[in-house]
Amino acid sequence: NHILEGDNNSTLMEIIRDEGLDIEAACGGCCACATCHVYIDDNWIDKIEPIWAASLETYLLEKSKHYNEKLSRLACQIEIKNEYNGLIVNLIKETS
Ligand code: FES
């Protein structure tokens, strides 16, 4: 387990990547690769802002063999806010 800190201008992917953890994030955060796929903890998923524009992030996630309809998100599409303090996320080994 890792405890990460980041500021409100970051995305979850950037915080994970900048900590040197194993997240590929091949497209650099422009919602094109799905290698920043994470599972949001069950107790947190409803507190995270829903997928923007609904379609592209879901489309990418659905192509993953690890897709979990309830818990899957792309970490680069989650912007960190104060309310997310304590957020629990599980990394998934996803290759592009
Ligand atoms: Fe590519 Fe998130 S880093 S979709």
pLDDT at 54: 62
Percent of the chain with pLDDT strictly greater than 70: 95
Q: Closest ligand 1 atom to the C-alpha of 23? A: 3
SS3 of residue 62 by DSSP:
helix
Q: Please say if the pLDDT value at position 55 is more than 90.
A: no
Query: Ligand 1: residues within 6 Å at CB?
Result: 13, 25-27, 29, 31-36, 74, 76
In the numeric block, the tokens 């802002």 are attached to 49
Cα 73 off chain centre by: 5
Q: Which residue lies with its CA nearest to atom 4 of ligand 1?
A: 31
pLDDT tens string 56-69:
999 999 999 999 99
Give pLDDT, residue 19. Answer: 95
**What is the model's pLDDT at position 53?**
59
Please tell me the predicted confidence (pLDDT) of residue 94.
72
Q: Is residue 51 scored above 90 in pLDDT?
A: no
Pocket test for ligand 1, best of 23, 33, 62, 96 (most atoms within 8 A of CB): 33
Choice from 16, 23, 35, 59 to test ligand 1 binding pocket (greatest atom count within 8 A of CB): 35
pLDDT per residue as tens digits for the range 24-49: 999 999 999 999 999 999 999 999 98
